[in-house]
Chains A and B, each alone.
Chain A
Amino acid sequence: ETGVTQSPTHLIKTRGQQVTLRCSSQSGHNTVSWYQQALGQGPQFIFQYYREEENGRGNFPPRFSGLQFPNYSSELNVNALELDDSALYLCASSRTPHEQYFGPGTRLTVT
């Protein structure tokens, strides 16, 4: 177990709605990254936060946004949900530049 927690575990939303996913990083880790994993694919990098600032972004539209708080926990917000947003959303925390430790994920279903 990594010590990274995510909430909620599952949720179902309707197309056009907004969603907020939450992540608590492992103690001592100041960097949080978010990934989207579609069925049958590897995780895709959304963005990373380091000390409350965005520190890199993948190929995702602006309706995917995030925050990191002073305690290094983080939120992922997705506006105007689309059917293709249905996926497992993974949060990973790290203290060193490369090795990232993942939480269990949030399964989002958009109908």
Chain B
Amino acid sequence: DQQVKQNSPSLSVQEGRISILNCDYTNSMFDYFLWYKKYPAEGPTFLISISSIKDKNEDGRFTVFLNKSAKHLSLHIVPSQPGDSAVYFCAASARGTSGSRLTFGEGTQLTVNP
């Protein structure tokens, strides 16, 4: 039961253009969403998050949008830079008694071409 899905295994964009990474979820108990970036041989690096009480959060070149009715979120990177090339993971968590576990998607490999 894949509760968080990233349907695009890979995405390729030109430097300076917008990168849009998408994520869908099925569990309506999720109330907090995060994006992580991962380079080879490193652990995931936290990028940006959003609470379910908001529909947008912005941090520099990164913006996350949340559409609760569609159970969909997206990460926009503008402008994209070659150093952004990495695997991006969407993750979600739910308040509960069993700790704040993160449920991850499968990841999207972003390649930004110079």
Contact = CB atoms under 8 A, between A and B. Distances in A.
A90 B91 CA distance: 15
A104 B46 CA distance: 13
A33 B101 contact: yes
Q: Is the interface of A mostly helix, strand, loop or mixed?
A: strand
A56 interface: yes
B45 interface: yes
B93 interface: yes
B98 A57 contact: yes
Given A42-B107, A44-B104, A55 B46 contact: no
Interface stretch (B14-22, B36-44, B56-64, B73-81): B36-44
A42 B104 contact: yes
Contacts, number: 77
Contacts of B49: 98-99
Given A43-B44, A99-B49, A102-B43, A50 B99 contact: yes
Interface string A28-61: 0001010100001111110110100001111000
B106 A43 contact: no
A104 B41 contact: yes
B54 interface: no
A66 interface: no
A57 B96 CA distance: 12
Given A98-B100, A102-B43, A42 B95 contact: no
Contact of A2 (B45, B91, B99, B103): B45
Interface of B: 4, 32, 34, 36, 41-46, 49, 89, 91, 93, 95, 98-107
Given A33-B101, A43-B44, A48-B100, 8 more contacts: A42-B89, A43-B102, A56-B98, A56-B99, A56-B100, A98-B32, A99-B49, A102-B45
